[in-house]
Amino acid sequence: MQTEQTKQQYELNKNLAQMLKGGVIMDVSSPEQARIAEDAGAAAVMALERIPADIRAAGGVSRMSDPQMIRGIQEAVSIPVMAKVRIGHFVEAQILEAIEIDYIDESEVLSPADDRLHIDKSRFRVPFVCGAKNLGEALRRIAEGASMIRTKGEPGTGDVIQAVRHMRAMTSEIRRIQGLQEDELHYAAKELQVPYELLRGVHGSGRLPVVNFAAGGVATPADAALMMQLGAEGVFVGSGIFKSGNPARRAQAIVKAVTNFADPAVLAEISADLGEAMVGINESEIRLLMAERGV
Amino acid sequence: MRIGVLALQGGFAEHIRMLRSLQADTFEIRRREDALGRMDGLVLPGGESTAIGKLLKDLGLFGPLKERIRGGLPTFGTCAGMILLARRISGTDTAYFGAIDIEVKRNAFGRQLGSFFTEAPFKGIGTVPMTFIRAPYIERAAPEVEILSLADGHPVAARQRHVLATACHPELTADSRIHRYFIEQLCAAGAGRRDCLTL
């Protein structure tokens, strides 16, 4: 049951995502990194103890970050601070809500806590962003109460191929839904395993009902602009910045690339002389596919 | 009526949609050349003021826009836009355009859990819906500044000659009266030009 108040809170949470559009959300693991990100023009930061590349390297169970570490970052910057919880771990989400986090990422980067259920996000006042590989996943997460969607991509690899695949899958499925007749929508909803009402909204508007960002494997200004040209409304950059040779410079360049994503002359200028990019791992070289977690 | 909307980061598409619904001709300002184009009004959208402020300077837009706002270009800033227009920002030495003599406090109502929706009287318009997202409010205003609205006891909308600033986001509501006020009372009336002549 949605009360007037929870509906209003959901609108405000979607509205915050609207204010992040055209921006870059950067993974940071200390107050110093958070300040570097803010000074570079980040629209928000994601506070986590280990960035995805290190989680991948370390192996083992990966969990919500220490609230004290997150608080340190909240105090260091004026931009919104996000943090990750494990898929289905609603108590980690309760803890982050208690420290007044601005956005929770229910993320496949951490080890899932529930192999069937995601968090019932409609029970929280704090907003959630969730990853999705396709339209079905995106609409299921929105039905559960997510107020922002991002592609899953493949975190911690520096390889953009999966983010591209997920964004293309989403936009081409949206185009297909737009072309259906009203009576075909019921069957499409069954096929995609999504609520009919949400699919009907997509049919009419030609877009998701919430803001949609790109994430996972973005390492260069060109990667960020590629995702924007493919239809992303903003970009998450995880390991790509603080695993590179010159984080401050690369962070600034990616911010400018997202603003000027359709201007090759500007992109050429800002892509020059950035120092070393993160080394990266090709999709085919990795053993753990985080994107397969939580469908 | 031709209105430029700063399109570096944030909710600029929502402003463009609303201005177009009022039959205004709009264009996006992303590059220095755009900032030099002909316009009857300028809108600074919501978003993150630190991000927009940084991009303004890095992309060479800050100088030309500041000069034009100083020269009387009617300008409307919402949320982050209000912060960019303010003379002072509490707790920092940084200021951007300094076009309206107010001191604003960032995230004054708290983090996202402090974001809220309300309806409040707006001078010259009536009661309007107001959406506040991690919003600032005005802590101090010079006598020349006219306070247009209060929310939760704090000033959240103000005007000084050709500059209008709101802490809320009228572009996120279905009510276009504040945008109409900007177009009719500031842009069409040539608020800046007239004041420049009388000064």
3-state secondary structure of B137: strand
**Across the interface, do A43 and B133 touch by the CB < 8 Å criterion?**
no
For the ranges A5-9, A114-118, A185-189, B86-90, the lowest mean pLDDT is seen at A5-9
> What is each CA distance from A80 to A26, A43, A125, B133, in whole angstroms?
11, 7, 16, 11
pLDDT digits (tens, 9 = 90+) for B80-130: 999 999 999 999 999 999 999 999 999 999 999 999 999 999 999 999 999
Average pLDDT over residues A92-120: 97
**Across the interface, do B133 and A15 touch by the CB < 8 Å criterion?**
yes
**Amino acid sitting at position A7:** K
Q: Residue A275: pLDDT band by 50, 70, 90 thresholds?
A: confident
For the ranges A207-211, A238-242, B95-99, B180-184, the lowest mean pLDDT is seen at A238-242
Residue B12: per-residue pLDDT: 98
Q: Is A63 exposed, middle or buried (0-12, 13-18, 19+ CB in 10 A)?
A: middle
pTM: 0.95
Residue A70: per-residue pLDDT: 98
- Whether this model's ipTM surpasses 0.90 comes out as yes
With a pLDDT cut of 70, the percent of chain A lying above it is 99
- Residue bearing the bigger pLDDT, A276 or B67: B67
Whether the predicted pLDDT of A191 surpasses 70 = yes
Residue B192: per-residue pLDDT: 58
Contact B111, B134 (CB under 8 A): yes
Cβ atoms < 10 Å from Cβ of A175 = 10
**Across the interface, do A259 and B116 touch by the CB < 8 Å criterion?**
no
pLDDT digits (tens, 9 = 90+) for B18-43: 999 999 999 999 999 999 999 999 99
From chain B, the residues in CB contact with A101 under 8 A are 111-112
Q: How far apart are CA A186 and CA A170, in angstroms?
A: 19
Contact B150, B172 (CB under 8 A): no
**Across the interface, do B47 and A103 touch by the CB < 8 Å criterion?**
no
CATH fit for domain B2-196, picks 1.20.1560.10, 3.40.50.880, 3.30.450.40, 1.10.240.10: 3.40.50.880
Q: Which of B8, B9, B15, B32 to mutate to test the interface with A (most CBs of A within 10 A)?
A: B9
Contact B131, B173 (CB under 8 A): yes
Q: How far apart are CA A138 and CA A140, in angstroms?
A: 6
Domain residue ranges in chain B: 2-196
Q: Residue B191: pLDDT band by 50, 70, 90 thresholds?
A: low
A246 phi/psi in degrees, rounded to 5: -135, 85
Q: Does B113 touch chain A (CB under 8 A)?
A: yes
Of A12, A19, A259, the CB nearest to B46: A19
Nearest CA distance, B198 vs chain A (angstrom): 38
Q: Does B180 touch chain A (CB under 8 A)?
A: no
Q: Does B35 touch chain A (CB under 8 A)?
A: no
Which token pair is A123? 């029970």
Q: Does B110 touch chain A (CB under 8 A)?
A: yes
Of B11, B107, B117, the CB nearest to A19: B11
pLDDT digits (tens, 9 = 90+) for A16-65: 999 999 999 999 999 999 999 999 999 999 999 988 888 888 888 899 99
Whole-number average pLDDT of chain A: 94
Of B54, B59, B133, the CB nearest to A19: B133
**Across the interface, do A259 and B9 touch by the CB < 8 Å criterion?**
yes
Helices A196-205 and A182-192, packing angle to 10 deg: 120
Q: Does A262 touch chain B (CB under 8 A)?
A: no
Contact B25, B3 (CB under 8 A): yes
**Amino acid sitting at position A106:** E
Which token pair is A77? 């910057």
**B window 127-166, beta carbon within 8 A of A:** 131, 133-134
